[in-house]
Structure 1
Amino acid sequence: MSADKHIIHMDQDAFFVSVEVRKDSSLIGKPVIIGGTSDRGVVASCSYEARQYGIHSAMSSRMAKMLCPHAVFIKGNMDAYSEASFEVTAILKERVPLLEKASIDEHYIDMTGMDRFHNTLQYVKELRATVIKETGLPISFGLSVNKTVSKMATNECKPNGESNIEQPEVRDFLNPLSIRKIPGLGEKTFIKLSDMGIKKIYTLAQIHPDQMNSILGKNGLSLLQKAKGIDHSPVIPYQEQKSIGTQCTFKADSIDVETINNLLTSMVMDLAFDLRQKKKLTACITITIRYSNFEDVTKQVAIAYTALDRTLILKTKELFRQVYQKRMLLRLVGVRFSNLVAGHEQIDLYSESQEQYSLYQALDKIRNRFGDQAIKLASTMNLDL
């Protein structure tokens, strides 16, 4: 990518923990763990102090307690974390020309061309200071020539850091780093490359493209580009209405509420599976019903970011109860999830036991192997509306 690109990656530091610390300053400097508080729970996030004990997300709460018995465990509040995320996004949207909300706690900003009016580094320093002042939440940034390098720069300077990697410095910055630091390089790929003696980005960058293609296919070529500091992916403007949805028109108008609720359950499960496949989370549910007289009624509700069936099913059914006020036959029902952002599935772990979380993973694996209709709740089978 040409040297005149100015791409910023901004990332909240231990975001869930930071929100809790904002509410309770006595947590400052303590090993804090967000997640299930029982032995069957799972760690969703933890403070940097807790990480020093080897604690990490997706670890069992029982193991975390063994590693750090004096840690402060907090069940977590996804509503509060979602609200804080919206706070940060609102501040950035007002002050930058092109913003991408990459996840609940990170954003990309394209300042290309704005250097004619601003010193980009000075501007992002002031922007970071504004976020910290107005929200009370710590945030770090990396400024560089593309999304990959700026994200890696942020990761290397966290927590509470600032980093600027200009074009001539890109390769020197990347070369000594572990290949594990490359965004999108998963555990299996790391093991495979490590077994071949490829552990540093410098080594990876020397591999011939044909060899990388034979080892990992197109994904290998993409990793090779990133190892060389090349990434042409654009900053995608943040759009709150980005959504997925489905609807069903009944064969015959119906007032069978129990069956319609079962249908909603089936629709939500399909949409939630789609969210997880795309590594997305939703923060808004919209439900639409159409009465037999063709009157449409729509209602929506903002929710905490999630992609879990159980949460979405309960919220959707509650919304349906609110919207279906006339005891009149229905001819159509629709569900839509919007305000989508990229999000790691572990974001929901604090509300799930290990068994429940493992169940979601197992169900998704079955669907991936045998098709998205391979497994359903008994109540959603043989629906004939």
Structure 2
Amino acid sequence: MNRKNRIIFHIDMNSFYASVEQAYDPSLKGKAIAIAGNPKERRGILVTCSYEARAKGVYTTMSVWEAKRKCPEIILLPPNFERYRIASKAMFDILRSYTPLVEPVSIDEGYMDVSEMNLSGNAVNLAESIQNRLIRELDLPSSIGIAPNKFLAKTASNMKKPMGITVLRKRELPERLWNLPVIEMHGVGESTSNKLAELGIKTIGDLATIQTGVLKERLGKIGLRLSERANGIDDRPVDPTSVFDTKSVGNSTTLPYDETDPTELNKVILKLSKKVASRLEAKNLAGQSINIHIRDADWKNKTRSKTVQNRIFEEREIYQLAKDLFHSTWNGEAIRLLGVTVNNVQDKGDYVEQLSIFNFEEHAKEEPILKLVEQLQDKFGKEAIKRGIKLKKNPSLESKTSFSKDFLDDHK
């Protein structure tokens, strides 16, 4: 089908964690509730909250103490990751009952390509059917965006919440989007917004109409991509197989109090490195770059990354690289949050390690083993013995955290 005739849905579950809790316990319906970490520590930051709580001025990422101040009657609940995973799987099962072209992108949102379905020219009726089933069967509200591509569908689903259905056509962009501040555009964060502001780009319309040469010089390929999005151009297909692509494995933590002691900060980095290594091991993955995320007491964020020649998966190496990155970046300011992530990950069995003057001796030691394997294969057949058998890992608690895309394992 011609890409111009595509019909893409973006389904976004409304206040997903809070809605799951209200569906699980109907006595919570109509009440201000929030999902948070440990409320006794400052790390108790709201993961999400119900629309009743939002009406009282509470919002996601607000600290627990501030939420209580704004809404004394708020009900705080600890996250129940398994409950959310079950609800997510049920939600995507419903979507797949309409079409196999479903692409989960997070635990509570995904795309559908319904272009080939016989819609009799009315995609809104199908969206209403999906939305009603999610309510009737799971008691979970959702918003659905309908558009000719993924970017516009994602933008449309954000336009009306909760329980909205919004159609967004490319020709409507000048009227409906271009007057909005550029930071409201999907894919533009605070850092990118600041860079765009330096170029005089304040609205989405400014981004859509500026000369692309200026954007490319300042932001490279990302700038050109953002310009295309602002003009409603997005050729990405809905890809059900994307669930097999894990791009990064990371872990972060908000510290109990602002920390300036290098020894204590190193301990935090070590703890994070252990968790990342454990999750990589559980998934049989390794990566080739590492990222450190730093948030100071003034909520200013810094990220630094380093790419290495060979795969990273061992705790010791992750810790050393992360620690070095941190200390080469840190200026002694009080730290509020730290995160460690291994990027560009893939199955360990798919890596080909590069020989260098630093590791050739290690490989030389393996040469007799390789020759023995070859001899046994010549004698008994290629399947008789294999080097590096890939075993399927059993998921552990370390590999099933809520805020990563580990939930995608449920869709494989």
Which band: TM-score by shorter chain? 0.5 to 0.7
Q: How much has 1:116 moved relative to structure 2? A: 6.6
1:78 corresponds to: 81
Task: State whether structure 2 residue 139 is matched by structure 1 residue 136.
Answer: yes
Instruction: Indicate whether 1:14 and 2:109 are aligned.
Output: no
Q: Summarize the Cα distance change of 1:2–1:170 in structure 2 as closer, same or farther, 3 Å threshold.
A: farther
Give the match for residue 104 of structure 1.
Answer: 107
SS of the residue corresponding to residue 232 of structure 2 reads coil
Give secondary structure in 1 for the equivalent of 2:227: helix
Asked if 1 retains the 8 angstrom alpha-carbon contact of 2:131 and 2:142, the reply is yes
Query: Structure 1 residue 95 and structure 2 residue 98: aligned?
Result: yes
Q: 1:207/1:64 Cα in 2 relative to 1: closer, same or farther (>3 Å)?
A: same
**Counterparts of 1:1-385 in structure 2 under 5 Å?**
2-36=3-37, 37-40=39-42, 41-115=44-118, 119-194=122-197, 196-238=199-241, 267-268=277-278, 270=280, 276=341, 300-301=394-395, 305-306=400-401, 339-340=408-409
- Percent of aligned pairs with the same residue? 32
Q: Structure 2 regions of 5+ residues with no counterpart? A: 249-273, 288-339, 346-387
Q: For residue 286 of structure 1, what is the aligned residue in structure 2?
A: none
- CA distance in 2: counterparts of 1:87 and 1:30, whole angstroms: 25
Q: CA distance change for structure 1 residues 227 and 241 in 2, over 3 Å: closer, same or farther?
A: closer
Count of residues in correspondence between the two structures: 286
Aligned-partner Cα distance in 1 for 2:166–2:75: 31
Q: Which amino acid aligns with 1:185?
A: V
Contact 2:276–2:342 (8 Å) recurs in 1: no
Give distance in 2, aligned partners of 1:153 and 1:265: 37
- Larger mean Cα displacement after TM superposition, 25-34 or 109-118: 109-118
Q: 1:54 to 1:211 in 2, by over 3 A?
A: farther
Query: What is the RMSD of the two structures over their aligned residues, measured on CA atoms?
Result: 3.6
Deviations along 1:55-101, one digit per CA (max 9) or x if unpaired, are: 33333222322332221111121110111000101111121141100
CA contact 2:111–2:238 (8 Å) conserved in 1: yes
Distance 1:279 1:125 in 2: 39
C-alpha deviations, 1:121-170, integer Å up to 9, x for none?
22222122112211110011000011111111100111110111234324
Q: Which amino acid in 2 is paired with 1:43?
A: L
Contact 1:102 / 1:341 at 8 angstroms: preserved in 2? no
Determine the C-alpha separation between the residues in 2 that align with 1:136 and 1:204.
40
Return the offset for 1:53.
Answer: 4.3
The 1:145/1:237 distance shift into structure 2, 3 A limit, reads same
C-alpha deviations, 1:173-214, integer Å up to 9, x for none?
222322222221111112333455433211221111011112
Give 2:113's aligned amino acid.
D
Structure 1 runs of 4+ aligned residues shifted over 4 Å read 115-118, 238-245, 264-267, 269-280, 294-299, 301-305
SS, match of residue 114 in structure 1: coil
Structure 1 distance, partners of 2:276, 2:192, is 35
Change (3 A) 1:96 1:82: same
Query: Do the aligned partners of 2:81 and 2:402 also contact (CA within 8 Å) in 1?
Result: no
Cα shift readout 1:280-328 (whole Å, capped 9, x = no counterpart): 9xxxxxxxxxxxxx9997563486842789xxxxxxxxxxxxxxxxxxx
CA distance in 1, matches of 2:22, 2:151: 30
Residues 266, 31 of structure 1: alpha-carbon distance in 2 compared, 3 angstrom cutoff: closer
